[in-house]
Structure 1
Amino acid sequence: MSEYIPAITRGLVMLLITLSLPGLVRAQSVPLPQPQVITDRQGLPQAFVPDILQDKQGFIWVATRDGLCRYDGQRFKVFQPDPDGRPSLSFAGLNQLELDRHGRIWILSERMDIDVFDPRTETFTNISRQAAFRRMVKPGISYNLRIDQKDRLWLIVFGTGLFSWDLKKNRDGGFITNPGTRPLSAAMVYSIYRRGPTERSGWLR
């Protein structure tokens, strides 16, 4: 009856028979590095980690509820709000980290503060306290952020939609709409990401 079995099916049957024969196929073991448990022994200030990223120099940056942490493979350096009021992290409890094309880290806190951290100079710039940002975003709303290759800040505003702000021109782009000029609802936008480093368009989800 084998002549009635399609060629592709016969091929699959022969493959299964071959794999079932002992000694013909040997599994190759791939050595994997042992996982390392990172705790307060290395200087991690807090165990809850909502976000993590790696910068262009290879450092690991960790968002915690007790500040921003840089890990060099052996120990942590922790950045926290300055009690003396010098430019620093706005709030210790962090939600999100985002790396832009300049190597700066955008930081979103649990209170919806937005800070920009330059790892080269270890300096902070607060964005959410600027007058232009306050005009664009009303107090008391929640959002996630993205930075694109054209230095535009994108806010996924929960309960409202998607907002853009051109950082170079210090000008807001308003709420993004559908072709029929109907605003995007919060139920339609959960995240935003770029298709590739050279792409001009992105995807909404």
Structure 2
Amino acid sequence: MKKTIIFWMLLLFISQLSHAQYSNLKFENFDTNKGLSSSTSVEIFQDSDGFLWFGTIDGLNKYDGYEFEIYRPIINDIHSISNNRINAITQDGKGYLWVGTSNGLNVFDKKSQKFYRIHLYKKKTEGLNLREEINSLLFDKKKNLLWVGTKNGLLQLDLASVDAPDFSTLQYTRYISNPKDIKSIDNNNVTNLIQDKKGTIWVGTGEIIYIDIILKPIILIELKLLLKQINI
């Protein structure tokens, strides 16, 4: 009986402590009045230097803890960002910031303060809308690869092939849906990318959520097929 009372007292104490921690949370609002380029932010990323980057529908914002610096396209400036709508942000092993927009992939050299626009569709591909709309980005540290989810399929960029700041040498592989191949990606609209602890890349596609898993060697397989194979 005594042990039971002690147990419930301990449980009550932990519960109250947990509630106290959460009740002390404070939220601060950042909007256009405080320097943000737009009150609609769709992406937030913290780089290795501690700066916060906000992807909004009207420009890329860098926050140093005190004020915002805004990056938008500049007419006739090839080293400005390609589009105002920022959908995805990540950083590679060399500190370059990769920014996906509604019209193109950009890499930002923080030292020179220059953007380099990456052309993912150098050759006209029949049957594809070649507007380079980027949905998601994922950097694989171990393999030095950048995975790019777009409206037109999934791309694997080999960053080892880059001789920065000349990004024209960048080599990539593109994966698109093939109805005749069950091991191809199920839908060209790649909306989400995530990597688990084992290094497996999980790919979300389409308006209805599908999951594809990239296995070794590179094989795209729908989650429902995988679960069937392992009898789940």
Change in CA separation of 1:14 and 1:139 when aligned onto 2, cut-off 3 Å: same
Alpha carbons 2:61, 2:68 under 8 Å: kept: yes
Q: State the secondary structure of the residue aligned to 1:52.
A: strand
159, 164, 173: which one pairs with 2:156? 164
Number of the residue aligned with 2:79:
87
Matched, 1:100 2:89: no
Question: 1:12 Cα deviation (Å)?
Answer: 7.0
Alpha carbons 1:46, 1:64 under 8 Å: kept: yes
Change in CA separation of 1:27 and 1:115 when aligned onto 2, cut-off 3 Å: same
Among the aligned pairs, what percent are the same residue?
23
Alpha carbons 1:105, 1:116 under 8 Å: kept: yes
Counterpart amino acid of residue 186 in structure 1: N
Alpha carbons 1:157, 1:186 under 8 Å: kept: no
Number of the residue aligned with 1:173:
173
Question: 1:64 Cα deviation (Å)?
Answer: 1.2
Question: 1:32 Cα deviation (Å)?
Answer: 3.5
Question: 1:25 Cα deviation (Å)?
Answer: 8.0
CA deviation vs aligned residue, 1:82-113 (integer Å, no higher than 9, x gap): 224241111112111122222222111123x1
Q: TM-score, normalised by structure 1?
A: 0.70
Number of the residue aligned with 2:148:
155
Take 1:26 and 1:201, find their aligned partners in 2: how far apart are those partners?
A: 37
Matched, 1:68 2:57: no
CA deviation vs aligned residue, 1:52-96 (integer Å, no higher than 9, x gap): 111111111011122111111121011111224241111112111
Gaps of 5+ in 1: 3-10
Change in CA separation of 1:154 and 1:36 when aligned onto 2, cut-off 3 Å: same
9, 13, 16: which one pairs with 1:27? 16
CA deviation vs aligned residue, 1:152-180 (integer Å, no higher than 9, x gap): 2323344x653323233333334389xx8
Matched, 1:125 2:147: no
Take 2:38 and 2:189, find their aligned partners in 1: how far apart are those partners?
A: 34
**Count of matched residue pairs:** 187
Larger radius of gyration: 1
**Structure with the largest fraction of strand:** 2
Alpha carbons 1:161, 1:185 under 8 Å: kept: no
